[in-house]
Amino acid sequence: MIGELNQGRLYDYMDNPKNKWTRELYDEANLINEDTLFERLVQLRRNKGTASYAARKKEINTRAAEDELKAYQKILAGQSASKVLGREEELCMQPKVLIDPENPGRVLTSEIDIKAETRRAFNARFTHDPIPRTDDEKHWMKSKKALEFQAGSKIDPLIWPPTNGIELHHLQDFLARGNNRPSPGPDEWEKWPIKYLPDEMTEIVRMLVDFIVRNNYFEDGLNDLLFLTLWKNKGTMIDLNYFRGIGLGNLLHQMAVTIFTTTFKKYAWRRGFLPPTQGAANAGLQGRDLTSYIAQIDAWAHANNQTLYWIKRDQKKGYDRVTPEAFDDACTFFGLPDSVKSFVRASKTGLQAFAVTAFGVDTLPIIMEMVMRQGGPFSPNEFTLVFAMASHWVHEEMET
């Protein structure tokens, strides 16, 4: 309309049946002359441009946030984090502003303050004061079930490390399992190139893993992690209380611990360490098995007009609150050899994580000494073994 008005053809333009909206706009505005019409049209165009720009900006920011969230979700699913780590200046999910915990009315914006607050927040989260217990208080260690497991372990012991050490089939089994491209840790080793190495180089990797397993050698940074913070989709994005962490470990560490986990799972399943109602880490048992069982009971209740009451356990596990002493007690309870305790302890000794912030990777670590971290290769088995010990003892106490 502005163009037609400038060329003196506005009224012919409005008389065209295709442009009825222009006549309606002209009549509704109740304009006095063409000058006021021009001002009105310019204002409308300006408002439309402002609204269009705001809408495009909102859509671009929304898509960018969704893409960033998808990138972290892929990391949680086991895919590579190289794209995220390769563009640290664009990490919108890493906060550049944080609330000062000592003064909530103040915010932290400098690189030094952001890194220091990230270390402080997660160090506090992974630091717990365990409740000390004497041997006399641990009644489960003298139960009949414990004696049964210990007697069975003498007849059928867990052999660790393997008698012939780590062989090529152990390494091939690890490379064939899980995601082919997991996120690299501080060592920047990728899984997929090792899978396609020639035999001579694969033998070198096998020898390295064998040395770690035989000597419980997890020094020289093998236990180090890259630590990425991820918002929980609730709360404010400038408060680290609403963030969780993703740890990316070294590949050699993952190999050694995963091979041990595979060996342990087969042994625990054969010996019946875990209760039959335990779903996680129980070989051959999946979540749909429990769902199917509950569905059958629910169908029976409806058919017989019976009222059912279900008690659902909270899913908050608190892996990091299980003390190393609890796992040592579980090893004794089930009659596992000292080599298992030594290996698991060594794999968590000196554990430290380096936070990836919006300003790059922090050079000072978050201390996670002896912490059972959720998502570790052996953590689900370690966690369930401790509570299997408690479950066996509780059932024995209920029967007496």
pLDDT of residue 1: 53
Cis, bond preceding 104 (omega within 30 deg of 0): no
Rg, C-alpha atoms of the chain: 31
Residue with tokens 């309309």: 1
Q: Above 50 in pLDDT, residue 280?
A: yes
Amino acid sitting at position 363:
T
Distance CA 354, CA 342 (A): 25
SS3 state of residue 327: helix
The percent of residues above 70 in pLDDT, for the chain, comes to 81
Distance CA 160, CA 108 (A): 49
Distance CA 184, CA 192 (A): 11
CB atoms within 10 A of CB 364: 12
Q: Above 50 in pLDDT, residue 14?
A: yes
Q: Are 205 and 215 in contact (CB under 8 A)?
A: no
Amino acid sitting at position 222:
L
Residue with tokens 């969704």: 66
The percent of residues above 90 in pLDDT, for the chain, comes to 34
Comparing 18-27, 102-111, 186-195, which segment has the lowest mean pLDDT?
Answer: 18-27
pLDDT of residue 73: 78
Q: What is the pTM of this model?
A: 0.70
Host H or E run for residue 107: strand 107-108
| Bridge partner list, 243 | 231
Q: Are 367 and 123 in contact (CB under 8 A)?
A: yes
Q: Above 60 in pLDDT, residue 369?
A: yes
The better pLDDT of the pair 47, 88 is held by 47
Find which of 25-29, 51-55, 61-65, 116-120 is predicted with most confidence, using mean pLDDT: 116-120
pLDDT in tens, 106-162: 899 999 999 999 999 999 888 877 777 787 888 889 899 999 999 999 999 999 999
pLDDT of residue 91: 43
